[in-house]
């Protein structure tokens, strides 16, 4: 692990149940840096999750709710988390058994440290 | 001590005769520091005994402390000073409702509704009171006086009132086309912006549905996002619809999730009943 965002990624990826964490450019959904387990389709996860985060931001802004800081999606077989900072979005893919509270804290902390 | 409390405390210390105690007391009340909030507000009241808002603050703190009779006394004091005080009418109505004094509660809430007919929380409280009064067989009011009572529109507006309780939350049921079917989303000014909120936010679930398909994560069960002004949680509803709960960002996320589940159950039951009726 040598990338510039590995500190932030590692703090999220070390949480139990996390399958992968990535820093994504919020404008074009391209991965800036990632730490993912083998088999995770990182570009697909990044593109879809960043797109959802962008949509949530736009919708919340249009609805007068202000800026979106954190997003969580729960599905039958897993979770996706996203936390934004400026032009970057920190994204994590997790198993359904993950501790949501711990991941949320780790994500917010890691996102606040993104340059 | 939070920055806000510290700032207000310092301001009050600099000018003990100012009305900043109202802000400080309210901030402490919202933070659940009720003993301190009461001390601050009673001290302020000593200097501003003819200020209706000061009595109103004391009343709300008393109500939060479960001292309902003393809260009523304080709200009566407000109404003696300012007979049109909306907060006092609402507060008094709520306490009377809590005490099972349905007719008195209805009378007070009707007065509040007359002052601000657009306040969704008053409409919801009135619907509650009337439902309870009907169940208790204690209501002596004439149904024909209010054409909106028990109407489908009123039923839809107040669908989630019971599930939401008294917390700072609101809920909507949105259909597959982004149209609001039930619930209200009142602003601080009392305007109902549910259609705007529903239309804007339902697009998020479309996006999530697409993502879950591609990622093979199964059906989505909940989405939650945190914004500056609210925590928004959504869950799928029958017939491609969506249940949405928006809550004060200070409320615990676990509580918001439970309320979302309760609203989802309520919406499903309501849609089933509506389907059976049609």
User: Which residues in A lie closer than 8 A to residue B208 (C-beta atoms)?
Assistant: 52, 73
What confidence tier does A61 reach under pLDDT thresholds 50, 70, 90? confident
Question: How many C-beta atoms lie closer than 10 Å to residue A85's C-beta?
Answer: 18
pLDDT at B186: 72
Tell me which chain B residue has its CA closest to the CA of residue A45.
Answer: B215
pLDDT at B23: 92
pLDDT at B191: 65
Put simply, whether the predicted model's pTM sits higher than 0.90 gets the answer no
pLDDT at A90: 96
Distance from CA of B193 to the nearest CA of A (A): 9
Q: CA B57, B43, B32: angle at the middle one, nearest 5?
A: 50
**DSSP per residue, B5-33:** HHHHHHHHHH-TTSTHHHHHHHHHHHTT-
Question: Which has more confidence, B97 or B172?
Answer: B172
Distance from CA of A4 to the nearest CA of B (A): 27
Is B172 within 8 Å of chain A by CB?
no
SS3 A82: strand
Per the CB < 8 A criterion, the answer to whether B228 and A66 are in contact is yes
pLDDT at B1: 61
| C-alpha dihedral, B193 to B198 to B200 to B202, nearest 10° | 170
**DSSP per residue, B181-209:** EEE--B-TTS-B-HHHHHHHHHHHHHHHH
Tell me which chain A residue has its CA closest to the CA of residue B198.
Answer: A63
pLDDT at B233: 94
- Please report the beta strands in chain B, taking only residues with DSSP state E, as ranges in sequence order: 169-174, 180-183, 220-227, 231-237, 241-247
Question: Which has more confidence, A44 or B194?
Answer: A44
Is A105 within 8 Å of chain B by CB?
no
By mean pLDDT, which of A77-91, B151-165, B229-243 is the weakest?
Answer: B151-165
Quick check: B35 pLDDT over 80?
A: yes
Q: How far apart are CA A78 and CA B219, in angstroms?
A: 10
By mean pLDDT, which of A39-53, B113-127, B172-186 is the weakest?
Answer: B113-127
By mean pLDDT, which of A107-111, B143-147, B198-202, B231-235 is the weakest?
Answer: B143-147
Q: How far apart are CA B239 and CA B237, in angstroms?
A: 7
Angle of helix A100-112 relative to helix A6-13, nearest 10 degrees, comes to 170
What is the tens place of the pLDDT at every residue in B99-120? 778 788 888 888 888 877 666 6
Interface test with B, best of A50, A59, A83 (most B CBs within 10 A): A59
Q: Do B224 and A44 touch (CB under 8 A)?
A: no
Question: Which has more confidence, B230 or A63?
Answer: B230
Q: How far is CA A6 from CA A2, A30, A50, B253, in A?
A: 7, 16, 19, 29
Q: How far apart are CA A96 and CA A99, in angstroms?
A: 9
User: Mean pLDDT: which of B160-164, B239-243, B259-263 is highest?
Assistant: B259-263
| CB contact set of B258 (below 8 Å; sequence gap of 6+) | none
Quick check: B190 pLDDT over 70?
A: no
Q: Do A77 and B216 touch (CB under 8 A)?
A: yes
What is the tens place of the pLDDT at every residue in B78-104? 998 888 888 888 888 878 877 778 788
pLDDT at B142: 39
pLDDT > 90: percent of chain B: 19
Is A17 within 8 Å of chain B by CB?
no
pLDDT at B216: 83
Average pLDDT, chain A: 90
């Amino acid at each position: 692990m040598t990338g510039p965002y590995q500190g932030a990624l590692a703090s999220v990826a070390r949480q139990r149940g996390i399958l992968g964490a990535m820093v994504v450019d919020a404008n074009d959904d391209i991965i800036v840096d990632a730490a993912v387990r083998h088999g995770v389709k990182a570009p697909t996860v990044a593109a879809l999750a960043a797109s959802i985060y962008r949509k949530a931001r736009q919708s919340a802004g249009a609805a007068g709710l202000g800026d979106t800081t954190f997003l969580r999606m729960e599905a039958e077989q897993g979770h996706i988390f996203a936390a934004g900072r400026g032009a970057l979005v920190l994204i994590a893919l997790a198993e359904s058994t993950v501790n949501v509270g711990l991941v949320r804290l780790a994500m917010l902390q890691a996102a606040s440290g993104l340059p | 001590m939070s920055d806000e409390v510290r700032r207000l405390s310092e301001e009050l210390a600099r000018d003990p005769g100012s009305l900043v105690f109202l802000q400080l007391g309210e901030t402490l009340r919202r933070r659940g520091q009720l003993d301190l909030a009461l001390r601050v507000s009673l001290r302020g009241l000593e200097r501003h005994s003819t200020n209706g808002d000061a009595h109103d603050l004391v009343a709300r703190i008393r109500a939060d402390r479960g001292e309902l009779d003393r809260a009523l006394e304080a709200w009566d004091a407000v109404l003696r000073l300012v007979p049109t005080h909306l907060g006092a009418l609402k507060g008094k109505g709520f306490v009377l409702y809590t005490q099972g004094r349905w007719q008195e509660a209805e009378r007070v809430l009707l007065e509040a509704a007359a002052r601000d007919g657009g306040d969704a929380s008053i409409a919801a409280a009135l619907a509650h009171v009337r439902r309870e009064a009907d169940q208790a067989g204690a209501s002596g009011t004439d149904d024909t006086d209010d054409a909106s009572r028990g109407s489908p529109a009123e039923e839809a507006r107040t669908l989630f009132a019971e599930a939401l309780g008294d917390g700072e939350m609101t809920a909507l049921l949105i259909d597959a086309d982004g149209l609001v079917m039930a619930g209200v989303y009142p602003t601080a000014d009392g305007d109902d912006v549910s259609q705007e909120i529903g239309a804007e936010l339902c697009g998020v679930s479309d996006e999530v549905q697409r993502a879950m398909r591609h990622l093979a994560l199964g059906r989505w069960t909940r989405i939650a996002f945190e914004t500056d002004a609210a925590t928004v949680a959504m869950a799928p509803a029958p017939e491609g619809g969506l249940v949405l709960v928006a809550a004060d960002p200070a409320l615990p996320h676990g509580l918001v999730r439970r309320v979302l589940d309760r609203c989802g159950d309520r919406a499903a039951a309501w849609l089933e009943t509506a389907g059976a009726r049609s």
